[in-house]
Amino acid sequence: MFPRQFGLPSVFSPEVATLLERPDGPSVAIKMKLHWRLKAAHNLVQRMQVLHTRCNYHALLNQHCPIFNDKVSADLKGPNILHTHSSYYQVYAFARAVFSQVIPHEFWGSDYNREIVLKAVDKFIRLRRYETTSLQNVIKHFKINDCAWAASSNIRPGKVKQYTPLSESNKRNELVYQFIFWVFEFFLIPLLKTNFYATETAPFRNKTRYVQFLPFKGPKELMRYRQDDSMLDSSRTLGYSYIRLLPKESGLRMITNLRRRFPNKPCRAMPPQAVTDKNKQQNGLSINSILQNAFHVLSYEKARVPSILGSSVLGLNDIYPKLKAFQAHCRPAPGQAPTKLYFCKVDVTSCFDTIDQKLLLSIVRDIVQDDEYMIQKYSTVYPSAGRLKRSFIRRARPSGEFTQFSELAKSLTDGFRNTILVVYTFEERESLLALMEEHICNNLIKMGKKLFRQIVGIPQGSVLSTLLCSLFYAHLEKTKLSRFVSENALLLRYVDDFLYVTTSQDQAVDFLNVMHADDCPGWKER
């Protein structure tokens, strides 16, 4: 709770972001002399430990966040699990009750300070995803002088007013700041994580929902994974990822987190000599960062041969021009009857989770043709709104198209003003394919202490997932839907959403029949 008093780095120092990242402190078996400033706080901590053992958390949870009533029990029989969530007020009432029973009132110093912190707790619980709060916002109106336990034994509140030295005031602030930080980081957050599954939901976007339990009893999604603890070794370039469960109206969606950075460990991507004492505590690269070169190589091939994407569009800016051109083509001449148009909208069920891995890998091998690619990496530094901004850019090219950086910088000067271009790495075809094969066919996720390998589909949270999905369905278009492309028809696909517009009713019916067929690998229409 008070690391500075035990010779440990402060949680507010630049070197240590949180207590969780602080180097291991002295062993608990070593008896250390208690700092004289912490004698009052030590007694309060001992009382708090006793109150913690006596507190019935489960009873408080059932009292303030009840979910097992007749209405909810009837709702739970259906597929919608969002009815089990607790409201913000219920979660706050539960946290307030726990604070009242576990944390001694003397820690706050006064009722006013206690209400200030509880109001900050309420705001913290209501935060949306990506929203943050700070310690300064919590203690903005907190009266530190009311906390008698933080004051020196020679200067106690309640005595005759006397001059408080600056060093004494700074020490009080330090102790109170560390206590408030501990309350939020190591008491409130574990309390919420232990009793609720806090997540955003598909219907409410980034609005946080607190669900007490999830009916996760071996859903169909787990059938795509197989336990495999032998895959994680030093020969792997990619590590493992975690999944989180996103509640939706019809069940759960499993989202893979591939942006998480892991501590540096000896592996093929980080040799043992690279793990030094200087970066021992630093985090290594995430899986998405390691896949950046592969992403830029595929992006280069996509730009060089746009036809490999088939009818794929990248957004509304691509959809509108094609619809506008098709409308102009189908516009009848003056005096003629208007042309009837038939629209077919088809969505592929679980498109990422049903992709055939071997077929996708063969498609990628056909696309990546050059033996070696050069990755041009550079950064730009430019002024914006009175501040300097940086952006890091990568460009992939075949090694045969070698361009000096001076020539590249000259070609970019037309698009940049007041910009500094602040160099070449090469990737062999086989190493890129091996990396993508490991990502596609040997994707590992960790649940608890067990590792699972994905045996069907590709991870949805990957930097390559959208592009790989577009390439996969573009290949199926060429083999199954090529006959539907004509002057009197328009086929558009945005990842897994198909839109087919035609002037022929027979073609529209035939298109739907093909999309309903089961002879396409990884093709499950909804």
Q: State what percent of residues in the chain have pLDDT above 70.
A: 71
Higher-pLDDT residue of 357 and 264 is: 357
What is the band of 266 on the pLDDT scale with cuts at 50, 70, 90? very low
Higher-pLDDT residue of 147 and 280 is: 147
What is the band of 164 on the pLDDT scale with cuts at 50, 70, 90? confident
What is the band of 269 on the pLDDT scale with cuts at 50, 70, 90? very low
What is the band of 142 on the pLDDT scale with cuts at 50, 70, 90? very high
Closest CA to 442 of 357, 522, 363: 357
* Domains of the chain, residue spans: 3-211, 227-281
What is the band of 238 on the pLDDT scale with cuts at 50, 70, 90? confident
Rounded to 10°, the helix 292-304/465-476 angle is 40
What is the band of 239 on the pLDDT scale with cuts at 50, 70, 90? confident
pLDDT at 316 over 90: no
d(CA 93, CA 99): 10
pLDDT at 484 over 80: yes
pLDDT at 270 over 50: no
d(CA 361, CA 464): 13
pLDDT confidence of residue 8: 67
What is the band of 267 on the pLDDT scale with cuts at 50, 70, 90? very low
Q: Which of 183-197, 259-273, 358-372 has the lowest mean pLDDT?
A: 259-273
Across 80-84, 148-152, 184-188, 385-389, the highest mean pLDDT is recorded for 184-188
Higher-pLDDT residue of 10 and 176 is: 176
pLDDT confidence of residue 82: 64
CB-based contact 60:51 (threshold 8 Å): no
CB-based contact 9:17 (threshold 8 Å): no
pLDDT confidence of residue 47: 95
Q: What is the model's pTM?
A: 0.69
Cβ atoms within 10 A of the Cβ of 292, count? 18
What is the band of 30 on the pLDDT scale with cuts at 50, 70, 90? low
Span 168-190, average pLDDT: 91
pLDDT confidence of residue 79: 44
d(CA 325, CA 419): 39
pLDDT at 471 over 90: yes
What is the band of 273 on the pLDDT scale with cuts at 50, 70, 90? very low
pLDDT confidence of residue 332: 84
pLDDT confidence of residue 354: 85
pLDDT confidence of residue 272: 43
pLDDT confidence of residue 72: 46
pLDDT confidence of residue 509: 93
d(CA 281, CA 161): 47
Span 16-32, average pLDDT: 50
443 alpha-carbon distance from chain centroid:
17
Q: Which of 86-90, 109-113, 285-289 has the lowest mean pLDDT?
A: 285-289
What is the band of 459 on the pLDDT scale with cuts at 50, 70, 90? confident
pLDDT confidence of residue 156: 55
> pLDDT averaged over the chain?
79
DSSP 326-393: HHHHHPPPTTSPPPP-EEEEEEBTTTGGG--HHHHHHHHHHH--SSEEEEEEEEEEEEETTEEEEEEE
Span 106-131, average pLDDT: 95
User: Architecture of 3-211 per CATH?
Assistant: Orthogonal Bundle (1.10)
pLDDT in tens, 45-81: 999 999 999 999 999 999 999 875 544 444 444 445 6
pLDDT confidence of residue 75: 47
Span 188-203, average pLDDT: 88
